[in-house]
A and B are shown apart, each in its own frame.
Chain A
Amino acid sequence: MKITETIFQDGTHKWVAIVRDPDKPNFLIDTNEYLVTHGGQGMLLDPGGAEIFPAVFSALSSEFDPSALAAVFASHQDPDICSSLALWLEFNPKMRCYVSWLWNSFIPHFGGTAETFISIPDEGMDINLAGLTLRTVPAHYLHSSGNFNLYDKVAKILFSGDVGAALLPAEQNGLFVEDFDKHIRHAEGFHRRWMGSNEAKRRWCERVSQLEIDMLCPQHGAIYRGADVQRFISWFDDLQVGIVKA
């Protein structure tokens, strides 16, 4: 079963990281899921693949009633992001899925009906969670061509999807980045190969530099906090991406 760790709390406003399943088979990539709650409503960010659903569900159930999930946010269309969608809908068929307009006819192959999906335009939009405004931040081509991050201005948390992801060795399983230089070595290959556009990367760096961010939470690996957030943005800005030796 995965573990849950509350990374932000102010009254009913909470961010819970659902991470690190020791029983996960090695052939499945490890993922982080995040639960945002406010005023009794919940939104699950990148709910994960179908095969890890039992581990995510049981961890989330220990914190929150899954049938009270108002929505899921899918940063993009990959199977490790949202192939569990149909299973979450079993608990609340009225649950909504926010996703880039680019993918709103692709993701229904994982489940849901025409009513399930709310398309996010390329420029992004605000999502209201029981009075809390969450901003979808464009991160197109990083890596998916229709890709969004999610920013919580109150908690000062940016859910960054695959940006900032690191494929960490088993022994390096801390929730937060403790040693940036050591950590970033495990992120470099991923970013060079997965991220497709230097121009898109530059725009993202400029965009998020204007946000006040205490924590940058990727879908794989560890969370950047404090000074490591800006350190990551600068590192990413300097990195040449879209490169493959072939």
Chain B
Amino acid sequence: MTMNAVATTTRKVPRAGVDLLRIVRINEEIKRVVSVSFKINIMALNAIFLAKRAGTAALGFGVLSNELRVFSQDLRNCMESLTDLIHGCVGEVSIVLQDIRFTRLLGEAAQLAPKSAAPAVLAQREAENDMHANKLATLRNQLKRALEDAFQIVELGGVLAKSAKIEAAYGQSFAAPLAQVSGEFDGIVEEIRSSLESLRRSAFFTGH
């Protein structure tokens, strides 16, 4: 059992190290989405002023711009919870990496002193390692679910941006600037969608 524990631990080393790298990349992508969603907030604010100037011809556009502001805030909140989960994952992966080192050293001690307390301590350490690995697996699933929630929000954002494009057509003399703004909304929502797609494809979730 003792030697099996050491062998299992040795196999875990590259996985944990690679996981840490993947988490760092996910975090960078999340930062990108947060920055883009902040841009939507500013754009929506400008669109609301533009709609006010357009008057009754852009009432629908004004409502949609306001919804896009709400969307931007919802997305940032969602990304904030993703960031918290990512920080939790960094903590757990760091513990797993330390566990791996300690298990290796305790394994060597157990091999050199098989009649000492080392094999028992090693078995206990391995049980704790499993606990940390399970905790990391739970965080990974939570992160995956939070990512799916973000997707739902972005789907709504996409619908809002497309509706804004339609509403822009009714903007009479303001149709051209409204179309430009709604086109920019759509482009940015697509940008966020593609960022979330790449997060979804991360090997941290798929395992390969």
Query: Which residues of A are interface residues toward B (Cβ below 8 A)?
Result: 1, 50-51, 53-55, 57-58, 61-62, 65-67, 86-87, 90-91
- B116:A54 contact, CB within 8 angstroms: no
B121 at the interface (CB under 8 A from A): yes
Q: Are B113 and A61 in contact (CB under 8 A)?
A: yes
B112:A55 contact, CB within 8 angstroms: yes
- Which of chain A's residues has its CB closest to B111's CB? A54
Chain B residues with CB under 8 A of A67 = 117
How many Å from the CB of A47 to the closest CB on chain B? 13
Contact B105 A54, beta carbon cutoff 8 Å: yes
A51 to B101, CA, bound (A): 9
Q: Contact between B118 and A57 (Cβ–Cβ < 8 Å)?
A: yes
Determine the chain B residues whose CB is within 8 A of the CB of A91 once the complex forms. Answer: 117, 121
Tell me which of B102, B111, B113, B115 has the highest count of chain A C-beta atoms within 10 A of its own C-beta.
Answer: B113
Q: Which residues of A contact B101 (CB under 8 A)?
A: 50
Contact of A58 among B102, B112, B124 (CB under 8 A): B112
Selected A-B contacts with CB under 8 Å, 8 pairs: A1-B112, A53-B105, A54-B111, A57-B118, A58-B118, A61-B115, A62-B113, A67-B117
- Please state if A53 and B109 are interface contacts (CB–CB under 8 Å): yes
B residues with CB within 8 A of A: 101-102, 105-106, 108-109, 111-113, 115-118, 121, 124-125
Report A-chain residues with C-beta under 8 Å of the C-beta of B118.
57-58, 61
* B109 in contact with A57 (CB, 8 Å): yes
Q: Please measure, in the bound complex, the distance between the C-alpha atom of A54 and the C-alpha atom of B101, giving whole angstroms.
A: 12
CB-based nearest B residue for A62: B113
Known: A1-B112, A57-B116, A58-B112. A51 touches B121 (CB 8 A): no
CA distance A65 to B108 in the complex (A): 18
Tell which of B102, B112, B124, B125 touches A57, judged by Cβ atoms closer than 8 Å.
B112
Q: Tell me which residues across on chain B come within 8 A of A86, comparing CB atoms.
A: 102
C-alpha gap A86/B115 in the complex (Å):
21
Which residues from chain B contact A54 at a C-beta distance below 8 Å? 105-106, 108-109, 111-112
Pick the contact of A87: B106, B111, B116 (CB < 8 A): B106
Give Cα A51–Cα B108 distance, bound, in whole angstroms.
10
Determine which residue in A50, A86, A91 has the highest number of CB atoms from chain B within 10 A of its CB, and name it: A91
On whether A51 and B105 interact (CB within 8 A), knowing A57-B118, A90-B121, the answer reads yes
Cα–Cα, bound, A155→B117 (Å): 30
Asked if A90 meets B125 with Cβ closer than 8 Å, knowing A50-B101, A50-B105, A51-B105, the reply is yes
B120 to chain A, nearest CB (A): 10
Q: Which B residues are CB-close (under 8 A) to A51? A: 105
Smallest CB separation, B19 vs chain A (Å): 22
Give Cα A175–Cα B163 distance, bound, in whole angstroms. 85
For the complex of A and B, list the 4 residue pairs with the smallest distance between their C-beta atoms, beginning with the closest.
Answer: A58-B112, A54-B108, A58-B113, A61-B116
